[in-house]
Every structure is written in C-alpha cells, then in structure tokens.
C-alpha cells in the first residue's frame, strides 16, 4: 500500500531534484505567532543544481518550536524570481499537497508550466519542502519492513492486533532512521516554518497558493498568522474538523461519485473503449473475478491483480481525470481469458547491504497521524468504519487511499500534535477557495464546510467539472486565481466555473 501514497502525493510535483542542498543560514528564533524577531538574516541563494534559472537554499530551523534553542534541521527552499521586476508584487509561497509532495521540485520543475505568465511576471515563486519531506530532513523507513506491511482490511481482532503491532514497529523504525523531526512533522509545525521563511525573505506579508493537503497549511497559517497574509488561494480544500467516520464516508462518497462520472462519460462518448456496454456491470464483474484470483497484471502476467489494486489504479485515473486511459485499462483486464486460480503474490522482503538497512522516504503517516486523531481501538470499531465506508462506495469498495491512511494510524499513541478542530480565524484578508464538484479525493462538502467555518474571510468558487487539480482547468478557474492574486479582485459569491469541454 505504500506505493499508493508514493504515487498520489506527487500529483503536481514530479521527481526528486538531484544534487546536495545549498548551505543556508540559521533563522532567528520565532516568538509567539504574529510576532517577528527584531533581526533576520537572509537565505543564501545559489543556482539550483538541476536548473540554474531557479535558486536554491536552506534555512536552519528548530525541530521543536516549543524549544527554539534545541536541535535544528535544514529546511530546503527554492525560488523563481519575478520575470518583470518593475511590476513585482511580492512573494508567492506554494505547496502542491501530499502530504509528501516537494515544494522545491514544484518551484524548480513545474511552476513555469503550471502558473500563467502573469503570475510569473509579478511574483517570486517560493517552494519549500515541508519538514520530513524531500530535502528537509526526510522521514525514512526500512524498505524491508515496509514490504511486510499487512492488509489494511483486518478480518478479526487477531489481524487488527497484528496491524497495530506492525504500525508501532514501523513507527519506531522510521523514528530511528529519521531523527527527532519525525515527532514534529505535523502541519502546525510546518506553519511556523513557513512564517520563518517569510521573515528570512524580509517580507511583511506573503501570498500563498496551496493545493489539496497544502490547503491545510494555508488554513492553519491563516489561524496563526492571518495579519501576515496579503492574498491566499486554496484549491481542493481539506476540512480539518472531521471525525474518523465523517472523513472515511465522505472520502468514499466522492470516490464513488467519480466512478459514476466515468460511467456517464463512457456512455456518451463513442471513443470510450467500453462504449455501448453496461460499464458498471463490467466493472463489478471484473472486481469479482479479481477476488477469485483470475485477473493478472498485463505488464507482469505472473502477478495476480487484487480488486484493491484495480480500484487504486482507477482512483489515480480519476485525478486527471484520464477516463480514456481508464476505459482502455478496464477493457484490457476484462478481455483476459479465465486462468487457473492463483494467489496474489506477496511482496518479497527487501535486502540489506552489509549491516546498514536500506531505507526509503516515507513521510505520509508521520504527517497524517500527527494531524488527525484517528485511532480505532479495536476490530469492532474499525470494522464499523469500514462497513460505513463500503456502504458509501459499493462500486469503488470504499476509498482505498483514505482507508489505508486511517489504517496506518492504528496502534499509534493517542497524543496528536495537531488534532483536528474547526477553524478559528480572527484576523485575515478575504481568501479565495476553489474546488471541483466532482473531486475524486477531497469531497466538495469539505470546501463548503471550511467556507462555513470562515464565511467572513473566504469566498468559494465551485468548478462544476471533475478532477482533483483546479487552477489550470479552464480560463475561468485560472483567471479567477490570477485576478485575485495580482489585483485582489474576488469573484462574487454567486459565480461558478462551468465544466471544461474536455475533462
């Protein structure tokens, strides 16, 4: 299941920037939220190793903001300067989501194709790797242990206990390989880091663009440092007030909705590989065949595909959405001739070289389990959540991404650094929110909930189509963000962006 998180946390940011990080300077200790230090050094910028048109640096920050004089780590930062300095407005900090996506990679490799020329002309685009991610003292875990991850769907109390034991063992393994930053990878700590970046840049106010999990960073920055914001645009919003049942059920419901959007598209589109067939029946039969061990990976014929693996593949295609590709994939699997039943291959343990264990970056649960108090105590409780999730998404069989996320917190300590709560914003400018009505991952109701909690300080612009990303979806969505960030011009509360002709 770890492969799912690696695949999904890099939706907007691709790859890993090669080369060592550039030495930076140590940031002044931060006082209480909203209070700046009397003096602040600047980041020592140098050309980025992979693209010299961007600049990279590091900022040395406290691991634990409650102990600012304690142990420190290097936060990786990247910058693309405004291409029209005479009309520069300020800095635009960005986070592409995850948790686990690299803001440095986004700034260096994706910002020029993602943002319009107008945004690039008027803002220094600043990306950073949140603590525990990318080049910012990344959370690492043993590959051998990760390959032994048990099923996220325990069938009884004994298997639930095995899952809890594994999660505790993995947590200690990751802490050992990652150092103290593991215990402080929560979003509230990232928010303190982000304000340290503002001070290091010498800016009185920042602009911010956050996508998906990056919206949680923006929301909580608004709570803590609202008076330091000039403008903030958030797309595919996170509602941090939800309990475990609401979170799982609403996630399942939006995944199921995306499935039905795919079916409708296929029924009305002659180029769909399943056009003219009962797509829902084909899909349900395919998953039933996968349950019987009859479906094999076309790229690895000896490997049996589970129903869970197929739903994960579909879920990833919903992000685009890439419906053509999904239809072709389902048709190819459905056309397979029946074969003798085989057991799905179990992951093989990784190997160690010498005495040193091989590790891999695995920040997802270090962040997620410290941001959400999701701790099912026993099999009965967890099974009840799973049944509610399956009722909300019978064809998608729940929500594979969020189910695995919650399952990964089973057995963790009850204490949470950044427990969920309703937003409490006391001082901030009007913030622009955008959200797809048919987002496969973040339910549109999450955006309406956040808007309801912050009605005096937010404007919500719905996009009436499908897919997870929103900004570049159409001229309507792009212009709304650009006009707001550059001119502080907000759409009216009644505005909506229609679905693009091509989803």
User: Is the pLDDT score of 49 beyond 80?
Assistant: yes
pLDDT of residue 353: 39
pLDDT of residue 356: 53
Looking at residues 340-348, what average pLDDT do you find?
48
What tens digit of pLDDT does each residue of 180-214 get?
999 999 999 999 999 999 999 999 999 999 999 99
pLDDT of residue 42: 76
- Print the SS3 string covering 12-78: CCCCCCCCCCCCCEECCCCCCCCCCCCCCCCCCCEECCCCCCCEEEEEEEECCCCCCCCCEEEEEEE
Looking at residues 132-146, what average pLDDT do you find?
96
Which residues share a beta bridge with 466? 438
Q: Average model confidence (pLDDT) for the chain?
A: 89
362 pLDDT tier (thresholds 50, 70, 90): very high
What tens digit of pLDDT does each residue of 209-232 get?
999 999 999 999 999 999 999 999
pLDDT of residue 24: 37
The span from the CA of 454 to the CA of 433, in Å, is: 11
Residues 6+ apart with CB under 8 A from 116: 478, 482
pLDDT of residue 492: 86
The span from the CA of 125 to the CA of 201, in Å, is: 12
pLDDT of residue 503: 52
User: Is the pLDDT score of 164 beyond 80?
Assistant: yes
| Residue 31, CA distances (Å) to 192, 197, 225, 499 in order | 10, 14, 12, 45
What tens digit of pLDDT does each residue of 257-286 get?
999 999 999 999 999 999 999 999 999 999
Domains of the chain: 44-137+183-242+427-487 (3.40.50.1820)
Classify 79 as helix, strand or coil.
strand
The span from the CA of 445 to the CA of 472, in Å, is: 21
User: Is the pLDDT score of 97 beyond 50?
Assistant: yes
What tens digit of pLDDT does each residue of 441-494 get?
999 999 999 999 998 999 999 999 999 999 999 999 999 999 999 999 999 878
pLDDT of residue 136: 96
User: Is the pLDDT score of 79 beyond 90?
Assistant: yes
Give me the residue label for tokens 């001739």. Answer: 337
Which of 467, 468, 450, 446 shows the shortest CA–CA distance to 459?
A: 450
β-pairing verdict for 359-361 and 90-95: unpaired
pLDDT of residue 502: 65
Share of the chain above pLDDT 70, in %: 88
The span from the CA of 158 to the CA of 164, in Å, is: 10
Share of the chain above pLDDT 90, in %: 83
What tens digit of pLDDT does each residue of 379-409 get?
999 999 999 999 999 999 999 889 999 999 9
User: Is the pLDDT score of 39 beyond 70?
Assistant: no
Q: How would you class 447 by CB atoms within 10 Å of its CB: exposed for 0-12, middle for 13-18, buried for 19 or more?
A: buried
């Amino acid at each position: 299941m770890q492969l799912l998180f690696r695949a999904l946390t890099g939706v907007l940011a691709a790859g890993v920037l090669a080369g060592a990080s550039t030495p930076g300077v140590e940031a002044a200790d931060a006082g209480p939220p909203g209070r700046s230090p009397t003096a602040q050094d600047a980041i020592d910028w140098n050309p980025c190793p992979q693209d010299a048109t961007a600049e990279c640096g590091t900022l040395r920050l406290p691991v634990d903001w409650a102990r600012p004089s304690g142990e420190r780590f290097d936060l990786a930062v990247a910058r693309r300067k405004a291409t029209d300095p005479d009309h520069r407005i300020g800095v635009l900090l960005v986070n592409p989501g995850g948790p686990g996506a690299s803001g440095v990679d986004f700034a260096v490799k994706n910002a020029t194709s993602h943002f319009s020329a107008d945004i690039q002309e008027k803002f220094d685009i600043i990306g950073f790797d949140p603590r525990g991610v990318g080049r910012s003292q990344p959370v690492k875990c043993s590959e051998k242990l990760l390959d032994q991850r048990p099923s996220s769907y325990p069938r009884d109390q004994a298997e639930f206990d095995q899952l809890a034991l594994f999660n505790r063992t993995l947590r200690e393994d990751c802490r050992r390989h990652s150092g103290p930053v593991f215990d402080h990878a929560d979003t509230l700590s990232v928010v303190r880091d982000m304000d340290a970046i503002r001070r290091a840049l010498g800016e009185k106010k920042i602009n911010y663009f956050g996508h998906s999990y990056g919206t949680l960073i923006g929301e909580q920055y608004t709570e803590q440092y609202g008076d330091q914001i000039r403008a903030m645009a958030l797309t595919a919003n996170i509602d941090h007030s939800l309990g475990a049942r609401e979170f799982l059920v609403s996630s399942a419901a939006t995944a199921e909705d995306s499935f039905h959007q795919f079916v409708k598209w296929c029924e009305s589109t002659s180029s769909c590989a399943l056009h003219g067939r009962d797509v829902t029946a084909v899909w349900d039969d395919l998953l039933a065949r996968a349950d019987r061990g009859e479906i094999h990976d076309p790229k690895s014929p000896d490997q049996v595909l589970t129903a869970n693996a197929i739903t994960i593949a579909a879920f990833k295609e919903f992000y685009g959405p890439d419906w053509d590709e999904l239809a072709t994939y389902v048709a190819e699997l459905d056309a397979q001739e029946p074969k003798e039943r085989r057991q799905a291959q179990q992951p093989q343990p990784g190997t160690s070289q010498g005495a040193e264990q091989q590790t891999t970056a695995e920040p997802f649960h270090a962040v997620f389990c410290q941001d959400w108090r999701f701790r099912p105590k026993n099999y009965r409780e967890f099974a009840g959540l799973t049944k509610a999730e399956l009722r909300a998404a019978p064809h998608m069989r729940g929500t594979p991404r969020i189910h695995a996320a919650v399952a990964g917190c089973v057995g963790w300590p009850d204490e949470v650094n950044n427990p969920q709560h309703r937003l409490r914003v006391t001082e901030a400018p009007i913030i622009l929110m955008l959200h797809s009505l048919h987002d496969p991952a973040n339910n549109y109701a999450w955006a309406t909930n956040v808007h309801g909690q912050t009605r005096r300080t937010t404007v919500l612009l719905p996009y009436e189509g499908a897919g997870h990303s929103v900004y570049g979806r159409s001229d309507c969505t792009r212009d709304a963000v650009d006009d707001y960030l550059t001119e502080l011009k907000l759409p009216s509360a009644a505005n909506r962006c229609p679905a693009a002709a091509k989803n």
